[in-house]
Amino acid sequence: MSDYAVTPRSEDFSAWYNEIVVKSDLVDSPERTPVRGCMIIKPYGYEIWEGIRNGLDQRFKATGHQNAYFPLFIPMSFLQKEADHVEGFAPELAVVTHGGGKELEEPYVVRPTSETIIGDAMSRWIQSYRDLPLLLNQWANVVRWEKRTRPFLRTSEFLWQEGHTAHATFDDAQAETMQMLDIYADFAINEAAIPVIKGQKSDQERFAGAHASYTIEAMMGDGKALQAGTSHNLGQNFAKAFDITYTDVNNEPQHCWTTSWGVSTRMIGAIIMAHGDDKGLRLPPRLAPIQAVVVPIWKNESEAAVVLPVAQELAAKLREAGVRLHIDTREGLSPGFKYNDWEMRGVPMRVEVGPKDVQNGTAAIARRDIPGREGKQFVEQSLVVARVLTLLDEVQAGLLQQATAFRDSHLHEVVGDYDRFTEIVRGGEWALTWFSGEAEAEAKIKEDCQAVSRCFPLEQPYAGQSGPCIVTGKPATRMAYFAKAY
């Protein structure tokens, strides 16, 4: 028993996470991975990524974006063209100095992000306002040398998509930035069942080289915040650095306005930490590689002969209905073992078929979001498909509901009471408070709370009003969330 159990979430969230990503077969264990800080994503984990990729890619295409691919290596001089950008990334760059046995004339950086090399291409591709907007996306791996790594949450190499667009006006770029933020939020809420908060980053937390950065912030099961996606309005910073210009209707040369936006494999970490429990993962049905598993139960050959055909027929019908289905016919494992095994892997629905079911014309259906026998029900075999389809929707909604209730119970509004503010944030919960956004104010909070602002939520509870900044006491026009973060 103890060999299968995982450290309870409440006891040690971090240990729970580390154990669960390995035991649920998402990644090879970090100790065995031969490259420091990098991860081996196993097939089951990669299938989750494929689900994320498909869901996002579809949304990108529907809004007019096209995929392209740019080089992994970026000339060092490109990064240096945007001062803030290179300063922000310099500490985490991997640099290639040799190739083909010779020292390179100019070192290449392994891309930490592609604003520069795509900006360079855009400068050649864009001539006229007729070429705008240019809406690109790239699915790629990037490298950022990280001191401290954790599977999915922070690794030296990770997978992501990075969108890069160029527009004729600031307003167009801003509209694009917000559109992509909305797409991320829609995906997180409706596919990953994570109730994210859309907001704007403070100047301190802004992307290196951006005019404005926006984020979707999610609350994990330990109360910490996780940035699950970002969208940046880059203003004309990169357009000026890379000479991305167009000729407008009046035949006047103009700099473009660009954006970039990304979601990474970190989203998988968000799903794990937002939904997982002491029995393992709980995957949202819309992203689960396996939505339902059929477990046939038999004692001997003669029972198997009766049970297996029924189980296989149910499996076939479920597949026909579009359910991503697996049938577990492994021999020599007890049903109990299989239940626990699939629960660890987070499969949303389980259908059990034993001799008694065959006799009664029934099957047992268990839902992953409700533990133990309460989540189990017996239904007639003819109704299994319909019930599974209904329950998959219910589980999807249930996970979002549970995560939302958890989040809301850990959010606190504070006005003018700095002691209470620090108490909340230090206690691992989220505080929403009036905030001036000044660097010194944020630095003080960081020192007192070991936390910085997460975002100014786009939906302000008292829009149009103002209140006392939690640090300076001076009137502030916006409220911001503060929380410890990953």
Partner RNA sequence: CGGGGUGUGGCGCAGUUGGUAGCGCGCUGUGUUUGGGACGCAGAGGUCCCGGGUUCGAGUCCCGGCACCCCGACCA
Interface residues toward RNA, by CB under 7 A: 1, 3-5, 14-15, 18, 29-32, 36-37, 88, 91-92, 144, 146-150, 153-156, 158, 160, 207, 227, 230, 262, 264-266, 279, 297-300, 331-337, 339-341, 343-344, 350, 352-358, 364, 366, 372-373, 375-376, 446, 450, 485
In the bound complex, what is the minimum distance in angstroms from residue 388's beta carbon to RNA?
A: 15
Question: Nearer Cβ to RNA, position 102 or 148?
Answer: 148
Neighbouring CB atoms inside 10 A of 89's CB total: 20
Contact 354/298 with Cβ under 8 angstroms? yes
CA atoms 446, 462, 175, 192: torsion sign:
positive
In the bound complex, what is the minimum distance in angstroms from residue 252's beta carbon to RNA?
A: 36
Residue type, 189: I
Question: Nearer Cβ to RNA, position 202 or 258?
Answer: 202
Beta strands 325-327 and 349-353 are: unpaired
Question: Nearer Cβ to RNA, position 59 or 150?
Answer: 150
In the bound complex, what is the minimum distance in angstroms from residue 258's beta carbon to RNA?
A: 17
In the bound complex, what is the minimum distance in angstroms from residue 46's beta carbon to RNA?
A: 15
Q: What is the SS3 assignment for 136? A: strand
Strand order in the sheet with 225-235: 66-67, 134-143, 157-167, 257-264, 225-235, 212-219, 197-200, 452-457, 479-483, 430-434, 411-414
Question: Nearer Cβ to RNA, position 252 or 331?
Answer: 331
In the bound complex, what is the minimum distance in angstroms from residue 168's beta carbon to RNA?
A: 27
How much is the CA Rg of the chain, to the nearest whole Å?
A: 25
Residue ranges of alpha helices (H) inside 191-300 are: 237-242, 266-275
Residue type, 337: F
Question: Nearer Cβ to RNA, position 133 or 348?
Answer: 348
In the bound complex, what is the minimum distance in angstroms from residue 253's beta carbon to RNA?
A: 33
Burial 253-269 (b: 16+ CB within 10 A, else e): ebbbbbbbbbbbbbbbb
Question: Nearer Cβ to RNA, position 133 or 429?
Answer: 429
Write the DSSP assignment of 355-398 as a string of letters. Answer: HHHHHHTEEEEEETTS-GGGGEEEEEGGGHHHHHHHHHHHHHHH
User: CA-CA distance, 132 to 477, in Å (whole number)?
Assistant: 35
User: CA-CA distance, 473 to 479, in Å (whole number)?
Assistant: 13
Question: Nearer Cβ to RNA, position 235 or 354?
Answer: 354
Question: Nearer Cβ to RNA, position 30 or 163?
Answer: 30
In the bound complex, what is the minimum distance in angstroms from residue 2's beta carbon to RNA?
A: 8
Query: 201 is written with which tokens?
Result: 């980053």
Query: 143 is written with which tokens?
Result: 């490298």
In the bound complex, what is the minimum distance in angstroms from residue 53's beta carbon to RNA?
A: 15
In the bound complex, what is the minimum distance in angstroms from residue 452's beta carbon to RNA?
A: 8
Question: Nearer Cβ to RNA, position 183 or 364?
Answer: 364
In the bound complex, what is the minimum distance in angstroms from residue 131's beta carbon to RNA?
A: 29
Neighbouring CB atoms inside 10 A of 250's CB total: 7
Cα 364 → chain centroid: 33
User: CA-CA distance, 331 to 337, in Å (whole number)?
Assistant: 11
Q: Which of 350, 299, 292 is nearest to 323 (CA)?
A: 292
In the bound complex, what is the minimum distance in angstroms from residue 147's beta carbon to RNA?
A: 4
Number of residues written out for the chain: 486
Contact 6/280 with Cβ under 8 angstroms? yes
Question: Nearer Cβ to RNA, position 386 or 443?
Answer: 443
Question: Nearer Cβ to RNA, position 173 or 364?
Answer: 364
Cα 74 to Cα 142, 159, 224: the distances in Å are 11, 17, 35
In the bound complex, what is the minimum distance in angstroms from residue 374's beta carbon to RNA?
A: 9
Look at the block and give the residue holding tokens 């409706």.
190
Contact 77/106 with Cβ under 8 angstroms? yes
Residue ranges of alpha helices (H) inside 101-213 are: 115-125, 170-190
Question: Nearer Cβ to RNA, position 53 or 255?
Answer: 53
Q: Which of 396, 349, 355 is nearest to 377 (CA)?
A: 349
Query: 320 is written with which tokens?
Result: 């026909």
